[in-house]
Structure 1
Amino acid sequence: MITTLYEPFRHWSEGGSVYILSDLHFSDSDCKLMDPNWITPEEQLDIINGMVGKGDTFVCLGDVGDPKYVPMIKARKKILLLGNHDARGAYKDLFSEVYAGPLFISDKILLSHEPVYGLSWCLNIHGHDHNNMEAYKDGCKHINLAANVCGYTPTNLGKIIKDGILSDIESIHRVTIDRAVERKMKRNE
């Protein structure tokens, strides 16, 4: 169980791991224009199902592509944050939960399809950008999980948390307190 997740999302990690990937673009003919080495849906499914088991949760951060491949993902739960290529109602029967925008799943973790900038107090896990962008931009720490950027390999959320990915991110509460103290000191000068 990932206890750092907000209560409404803890069930994702009950009985298994939480894996995250974005921009699968299953059978999207434009993928070869973005990346000439784009792999087939079957190859993607082999990679995904090689990691994600029947007791796990698979979170897709948008741009699924052809919905016929979604049932082939072995996960117990499938979660979708809609991407810019996803029709709102196209996947509702294929995913356990579908969200239309960015989602804070803990104090320091923001899931989104497109990158979000300027939030120094959180980790933004996203896709959308098919280039390997900087890990830090505008003070925000990012992990880009667009399939072609991360080798089509889902990231294990619990593992990266245990490995300390959040350790250098100050909480919003600490940032707010520090700013208030700084303003007070300036007024007293």
Structure 2
Amino acid sequence: MISTLYEPFRHWSENGSVYILSDTHFDDDDCKLMDPNWIDPAEQVRILNSVIMKNDTFVCLGDVGKPEYVKQLRVRKKILLLGNHDRRGEYTGLFDEIYAGPLFIADKILLSHEPVYGLPWCLNIHGHDHSNMEMYKEGCKHLNLAANVCGYTPVNLGKLIKDGILSDIDSIHRITIDHAVEKKEKKWINKEIQT
């Protein structure tokens, strides 16, 4: 169980691990335009089924591709955050939970399809960026899990957390307190200068 997850999402890890991947684009004609080395959907399904076990949860951060490949995934629970290529109705019955936008699943973890900026107090796990150029923009710490960027291999969320990916991120509470202290100190210094 990943205890750092907010209560509504803890069931994802109750019987196994939580694996995350984005932009599978199963059988999407545009894949070769995004990456000329894009692997075929059967190979992607094979990789997913070799990593994700029957009792695990698979979280797809959007741009799934053809629905028939989702049916081939041997996993207990499937979660989808809709991407810019997805239509909600297309995946009804194939995913246990479907979300239309970004999702905070813990104090410092934001899942989204596209990168989100300006939130220095969280890790933004996303996809969408097939060139991996967005990783170095201001704001959030980013982890791009677009399939072609991470070798088509889903990432274990619990392992990421245990390995310390959140350790260098201050919580919003710490940032708020530090800002208030800094503001008070500036006010005191200005008062001292004036007297």
Scaled to the shorter chain, the TM-score interval is: over 0.9
Greater share of helix: 2
1:129 counterpart residue number: 129
The size of the alignment, in residue pairs, is: 189
Structure 2 CA distance for aligned equivalents of residues 176 and 136 of structure 1: 24
How far apart are residue 139 of structure 1 and its match?
A: 3.0
Point out where structure 1 has 5 or more consecutive residues left out of the alignment: none
Which whole-Å CA distance do the structure 2 matches of 1:122 and 1:143 have between them?
A: 11
- 1:158 corresponds to 2:186: no
Q: CA deviation at 1:137?
A: 2.6
The answer to whether the aligner puts 1:171 opposite 2:155 as a matched pair is: no
Query: Contact 1:133–1:144 (CA<8 Å) still a contact in 2?
Result: no
Name the residue aligned to 1:60.
Answer: 60
How far apart are residue 112 of structure 1 and its match? 0.1
Give the distance between the partners of 2:59 and 2:186, measured in 1 at CA.
Answer: 45
Q: CA deviation at 1:160?
A: 0.6
Deviation at 1:118, TM superposition (A): 1.2
1:45 is aligned to: 45
- Structure 2 residue aligned with 1:3: 3
Q: In the alignment, is residue 86 of structure 1 matched against residue 57 of structure 2?
A: no
Residue in 1 that maps onto 2:102: 102
For normalisation by structure 1, the TM-score amounts to 0.98
> Partners of 2:133 and 2:110 in 1: how far apart?
17
- The answer to whether the aligner puts 1:18 opposite 2:18 as a matched pair is yes
Residue aligning to 1:118? 118
Please give the per-residue CA displacement for 1:132-176, whole angstroms capped at 9, x wherever unaligned.
236453131010000000000000000010000000101110001
The residue type equivalent to 2:117 in the other structure is Y
Q: TM-score, normalised by structure 2?
A: 0.95
1:36 CA displacement: 0.4
Residue 105 of structure 1 aligns to a residue in which SS? strand
Unmatched runs of 5 consecutive residues or more in structure 2: 190-195
* C-alpha contact 1:113 1:128 (8 A) present in aligned 2: yes
Confirm or deny that 1:183 pairs with 2:183: yes
User: Residues of 1 paired with 2:135 and 2:167: CA distance?
Assistant: 15
Task: Identify the range of structure 1 (135-144 vs 57-66) with the bigger mean alpha-carbon deviation.
Answer: 135-144
Does the CA contact (< 8 Å) of 2:22 and 2:145 recur in 1?
yes
Cα root mean square deviation, aligned:
0.9
Q: Which amino acid aligns with 1:10?
A: R
